[in-house]
Structure formats: structure tokens, C-alpha cells
Amino acid sequence: MHPIYPLLPDLPEILLLDTHADFLPDNDNWHTDVTFTETPPLAGILAAKRIPTSGGDTLWSSCSAAYEALSKPMRAFLDGLTAQHSVAKSFPPERWQNDPSFKERYERAVAKHPPVNHPVVRTHPVSGRKGLFVNEGFTTHINELSPGESRSLLDFLYAHAGRPEFTVRWRWKVDDLAFWDNRVTQHYAIADYLPERRTMHRATVNGDKPF
């Protein structure tokens, strides 16, 4: 269950992602879902319910492929670093706290989810492959570096993970269903369809603590 997004009244396990001109999308950046928790989701499941006449595609990026494409010295440098993740980075108070329909839910979410630290490079618990585990949506800084070093390195890693050779792009049709491994991917919902409407239903699978 997501701490901020609305849920379907008759199916509280399902998130409602309903974006349009009066409720702008906020997931049009590269992100891994809910990394601001100690145990981010293992997987995400997304169902298309209302699709604009054009646009609204979703991109996924392989964080394992991105990590493995780095030079050996860069991989060695990143191993052992940790980064902080915060709910407030993708859900800033100026939008969510000022909306009466979300204010109470938002304040509970921020109080319940203080910033957490995760490894910059995560090991997949099944395959054993390593993958980048920082994302533009929720990562605020790398703990072991100075602010300037952290910003420069994160900017590089964000751009690197989004390179086309690590990505796939899905053009939605109504009732399409996507299922992805949230531990080793990022995704980007392209916001090129406004003022049309895009409605999706999402479920997440509980995960464990990254290592």
C-alpha cells in the first residue's frame, strides 16, 4: 500500500494513478518505487485502464545492465557507498501538503517514513547480480561524499541508468498488464499526453531490505 496515492475503495490493495490537467503527473522521472522505505517493494504490477489517444508510454531501465556497463574502477568505487532516500523528494510539501484532499495522508506519510539509507549498489537476492540502487525520484545524497561530489556522481549515475541501450519502452493499450522486478529496475512514465487523461491501477509486492 502506498502512503500517499489514493486507493480503490473496493480494493484497498490497488493504487489509483489518475492523471490529467487538473491532477498533474509526478512520476515523469526515472525512479524505483518506494525506495524511501526500509523494505522497498519486490515488484510492481501496473494495469492500463484509460489511455490517451497518443503518448503516455512507460520506459523501464535495467539497473543491472547499467552497473555492469560501468568501468571496473567505477564499480569498485561505488561498492560500499550508501545513499539517503526521502519521500519528500518526489512528494514535495508545496504540492501535497497544500492539497486538502491529501494533506492529512501526506503528513502521516512523512511522519511514518523518515529518510532511510540504502546501498548505492544492490545485490539481487536471487540472481546475485549487482545493480545500481539510486534514483532521481527519491535519492537525496550519497552519505560518504561531500555535497558537491554527491551531486556530481548522482547526476552521472542518473544519466547513465537512463541511456537507451539499457531501456525498453511500452506503448500501452487498455487492459495491458506490466509486471517488473522493482529491485533492479527504474521506470519513467512519459507525461506527453496532457490535457488528456491517463488512468492506471497499480499493485506492489512486498520486498525486503536491500543489501
Catalytic hit among 31, 113, 122, 141: 31
**β-bridge mates for residue 45, sequence order:** 179, 203
Angle at 26 between CA 8 and CA 123, to 5 degrees: 90
Angle at 160 between CA 116 and CA 87, to 5 degrees: 25
Q: In whole angstroms, what is the distance from residue 188 CA to residue 151 CA?
A: 21
CB 160 within 8 A of CB 70: yes
Catalytic hit among 118, 122, 187, 198: 187
The reply to whether 129 belongs to the active site is no
**β-bridge mates for residue 201, sequence order:** 16, 47
What residues contact 101, with CB distance under 8 A and at least 6 apart? none
The reply to whether 197 belongs to the active site is no
The reply to whether 33 belongs to the active site is yes
Catalytic hit among 33, 85, 141, 183: 33
What is the residue whose three cell numbers read 520486498?
Answer: 207
Catalytic residue annotation: 31, 33, 187, 202
